[in-house]
Chain A
Amino acid sequence: MDRVKRRLAPYLLILPGGLWLLLFFAVPMIAMLSLSLQQGDVVNGYRFTFHWQNYTEAIEAYNSQLIRSLIYGAIATVILIVLAFPVAYYIAFYGGKRKPTYLFLLLLPFFVSFVLRTISWRQILTDEGPVLGPLKDLGLLSDSYHILGTAPAVIGGLVYNFLPFMVLPIYVALERIDPRVVEAARDLYANPATSFRKVIFPLALPGVFAGVLMSFVPVSADYVNSEVLGSSSTTMIGQVIQAQYLVNSDYPTASALSFILMAVLLIGIFAYARALGTEDVMKVAAR
């Protein structure tokens, strides 16, 4: 009896998580996959016909938005690393007793809705708003100058919204570095810059890796920032999917686009993991 119980235990333990995945991941995925291969229209209904053309047509129609999304995602991710690293570094090494305060401040914006915060950026950056207005009055900018509707506005919004997702994993990685290891580098003739390059940064890489995963994927699939801060020239793939679903009710195209985006992101991530040598990174992370 005991032996049976013991052999069943792992399966019983996996049951809640397994059911969760099945219900909220596997079932919707299969439903969406089936949807992406259907034909018809919203009035007469859709039928499953293995209509692979949905994919080729979607790529043909929207490849520019897809590529733009990946480019925005990549640019935003690079800017995120550059901005987040010093922040995480400061909190981890100089935060002292105020560490919890800094982390709380970092997460404070989450108490206000993501959409609302993005809309408030619209107010800030508007043509005659608090930033551009005075600069134009002073004659520092021409009257026709605008930020809203441009790629920098969208990328800026993305960076703003996802900064904590980059800061936190890098902070965790830096926080775990034994200060004596850094001292050892200094003791072994490394100046502050070299000990950063040779010891601190390599040890923070797992955090950077995690931060890239946590920001590049949602940033590339984002549909709010371009909607609120952008224009028709900054349309991202997330907006297209949303419009196909909710505006045009073209479910097969929307589903096909979702799968294409997912495939592209997965391939990108695996290539990235390979290039960085995830195994080594994970080895360090598992320490």
Chain B
Amino acid sequence: MTTPQPAIRFAGVHKNYLSHGESVPAVKRMDLAIAQGEFFSLLGPSGCGKTTTMRMIAGFEEPSGGKVYLDGKDVTGVAPNKRDVNMVFQSYALFPHLNTYQNVAFGLERKKVGKADIKKRVGEMLEIVSLTGMEKRAPKEMSGGQQQRVALARALVNHPRALLLDEPLGALDLKLRQQMQIELKRIQREVGITFVYVTHDQGEALTMSDRIAVMNAGVIEQLGSPREIYERPASRFVAGFIGTSNLVDGHIERCENGLAVVAYSAQDRVVVPVGSAARPGDKIEISVRPEKIDLHRGVPPVSSTGGSVLSGVVNEVVYHGTSTNYTVATAAGADFTVFDQNASNADDLADRGDRVFLTWAPQHSYMIGV
């Protein structure tokens, strides 16, 4: 038995656009393999090349160089109608002159599936997306959420090798978006099709994906599971783009047992796990997530011995309901954000202008770029 082919593979793909006579790279040399049945997200700010990447899978853009494979078959240069992938467009792009049933049946009709079979499959698909009874509705007679589900059904009913979703939830309001995230995940599990999901919403990518490729300026900055990307951002860009990160740099004072200590004063220090390559005197960049940090008014407890300790002054206190966010100007020179869960303590830990100590365990510091 051979190992299963990746559903989608990019080999040395790059894409340049001509703009005012100049060749501008939209996607730089990219090698990528997306596994069968995977929920894969392309995440990045607008203009990072994520949509171009997706359009090259669909066949709406041809790479300037390199090859695109679907199920191990080279599809570079193959027209979109001959590629066994389907797309859910950003603004749904439903056929305005066709009703729900006709919209969903469109692909099957092109594939010359029998009438009775189409009827059965469309019916089943409408049931999966909970639109049974809406067959006769025209797109503009439906809400955004319903249109979005028609778009999904229209693509999925063809059992494509992969489903491409281009910011499909962008036009929905927050509540509906969260509902649809769960719904999408359920549908993906049910149909077992590879999903490639383009989004600029890091929260969405983190909740739904098996793996995420974080893109910036035409390059994949990091590829990994949501946990890896969140806990171990590979670059300053990823650390800043995914959630909130506290970034601080400094020179290693000493290394012991795989931990490096960066000292800012006699009592202010950051302890970070490092590889064997780190040497005293090296300049490193450290990232710490705001929810990992404990905030103390007064002297830090003894339990924090061996971990990081930074003193500072509270600049801002913002109440968020489930948590309270503090901004602290620290002795390390950088402003730190600290999230404190409002679990049992109804009162704030500190007020503006208070002198506080921030502490966190060594494993919560992360050295960027290793």
Residues of A whose CB lies within 8 Å of any CB of B are: 178, 180-181, 183-191, 194, 198-199, 202-203, 283-284, 287
Q: Are B89 and A180 in contact (CB under 8 A)?
A: yes
Knowing A283-B138, A287-B96 are in contact, say whether A178-B81 is a contact too (CB < 8 A).
no
Q: Are B107 and A189 in contact (CB under 8 A)?
A: yes
**16 other contacts beyond A188-B106, A188-B107, A188-B154, with CB at 8 A cut-off?**
A178-B93, A180-B90, A180-B91, A183-B60, A183-B89, A184-B87, A185-B106, A186-B60, A187-B58, A187-B80, A187-B87, A188-B155, A189-B111, A190-B110, A284-B96, A287-B140
Any chain A CB within 8 A of the CB of B97? yes
Instruction: Supply 19 A–B pairs (Cβ within 8 Å), ascending by A.
Output: A178-B91, A180-B90, A181-B93, A181-B96, A183-B60, A184-B87, A186-B60, A186-B80, A186-B81, A188-B86, A188-B107, A188-B110, A188-B155, A189-B107, A189-B158, A190-B81, A191-B79, A203-B96, A284-B97
Considering the complex, give the chain A residue whose CB is closest to the CB of B89.
Answer: A180
Instruction: Please name all residues of chain B whose beta carbon is closer than 8 Å to the beta carbon of A178 when the two chains form the complex.
Output: 91, 93
Closest-by-CB residue of B relative to A195 is B81
Contacts of B89 in A (CB 8 A): 180, 183-184
B95 lies within 8 A of chain A by Cβ: yes
> If the complex has contacts A194-B110, A202-B97, A203-B96, are A187 and B81 also in contact, measured as CB distance less than 8 A?
yes
Complex: chain B residue closest to A188, CB-CB: B107
CB-CB < 8 A to B111: which residues of A? 189
Q: Mark B169-213, 1 if CB is under 8 A from A, else 0.
A: 000000000000000000000000000000000000000000000
Cβ distance B326 to chain A, nearest Cβ, rounded Å = 45
Top 6 A-B pairs, shortest CB-CB distance:
A188-B107, A189-B110, A180-B93, A184-B93, A186-B80, A189-B81
B105 closest partner in A (C-beta): A188
Bound-complex Cα distance A190 to B79 (A): 10
B-chain residues with CB within 8 Å of residue A283 when the two chains form the complex: 138
Complex Cα distance, B86 from A184, in Å, reads: 9
Residues of A within 8 A of B60 (CB): 183, 186-187
How far is A185 from B96 in the complex, measured between Cα atoms in Å? 12
Residues of A near B97 (CB, < 8 A) are 199, 202-203, 284
A185 to B110, CA, bound (A): 10
Docked CA distance A183–B154 (Å): 14
B9-42: contact bitstring with A at CB < 8 Å (1 yes, 0 no)? 0000000000000000000000000000000000
Which residues of B have CB within 8 Å of A203? 96-97
The interface size of chain B toward A, counting residues with CB under 8 Å, comes to 26
Taking the closest CB of chain B, its distance from the CB of A225, in whole angstroms, is 36
Q: List chain B residues, Cβ under 8 A from A287.
A: 96, 140
Q: Which residue of A lies closest to B111 (CB)?
A: A189
Whether A183 pairs with B140 at a CB distance below 8 angstroms is no
Q: Are B110 and A183 in contact (CB under 8 A)?
A: no
Report the nearest B residue to A189, measured CB to CB.
Answer: B110
Complex contact B93–A183 (CB within 8 A): yes
Residues of A within 8 A of B94 (CB): 181, 184
- Expressed in whole angstroms, the minimum distance between the Cβ of A63 and any Cβ of chain B is 40
Among A180, A188, A283, which residue has the most Cβ atoms of chain B within 10 A? A188
Q: Which residues of A contact B93 (CB under 8 A)?
A: 178, 180-181, 183-184
In the assembled complex, the Cα of A284 lies from the Cα of B97 at a distance in Å of 6
Minimum distance in angstroms from B54 CB to a CB of chain A: 11
Query: Residues of A contacting B81 with CB < 8 Å?
Result: 186-191
A194–B110 Cα gap in the complex (Å)?
Answer: 9
B21 to chain A, nearest CB (A): 14
Which residues on A sit within 8 Å (CB–CB) of B106? 185, 188, 190, 198
Interface residues of B in 84-115 (CB under 8 A from A): 85-87, 89-91, 93-97, 106-107, 110-111
Most central of B90, B91, B106 by chain A CB within 10 Å:
B106
Query: B32-59 toward A: CB 8 Å interface, digit per residue (1/0)?
Result: 0000000000000000000000000010
| List of A residues within 8 angstroms of B82 by Cβ | 189
Q: Are B138 and A188 in contact (CB under 8 A)?
A: no
Bound together, the chains give a CA A287 to CA B96 distance in angstroms of 8
Contacts of B90 in A (CB 8 A): 180
CB distance from B82 to the nearest CB of A (A): 8
Contacts of A189 in B (CB 8 A): 81-82, 107, 110-111, 158
Q: Closest chain A residue to B107 by CB distance?
A: A188
Chain A residues lying within 8 Å of B138, measured Cβ to Cβ, are 283
**CB of A194 to closest CB in B, whole Å:** 7
**Cα–Cα, bound, A191→B110 (Å):** 9
Chain A residues near B95 (CB, 8 Å)?
181, 184-185, 199
Q: How far is the CA of A284 from the CA of B82 in the complex (A)?
A: 29
Which residue of chain B lies nearest to A198 when distances are taken between CB atoms in the complex?
Answer: B106
Using CB atoms, name the residue of chain A closest to B55: A183
Residues of chain A within 8 A (CB-CB) of B107 are: 188-189
Minimum Cβ distance to chain A for residue B298 (Å): 59
**Residues in A neighbouring B85, C-beta threshold 8 A:** 187
Residue of A nearest to B80 (CB): A186
A287 nearest in chain B by CB position: B96
With CB as the reference atom, state the residue of chain B lying closest to A203.
B97
Find the B residue at minimum CB distance from A206. B97
Provide the bound-state CA to CA distance between A109 and B110, in Å: 44
Closest CB in chain A relative to B136 CB, distance in Å: 13
Contact of B86 among A181, A187, A198, A202 (CB under 8 A): A187
State A112–B97 Cα separation when bound (angstroms). 40
Residues from chain B with Cβ under 8 Å of A194 in the complex = 110
B residues near A183, Cβ cutoff 8 Å = 60, 80, 87, 89, 93
User: Of residues B86, B97, B107, which shows the largest number of chain A Cβ atoms within 10 Å of its Cβ?
Assistant: B97
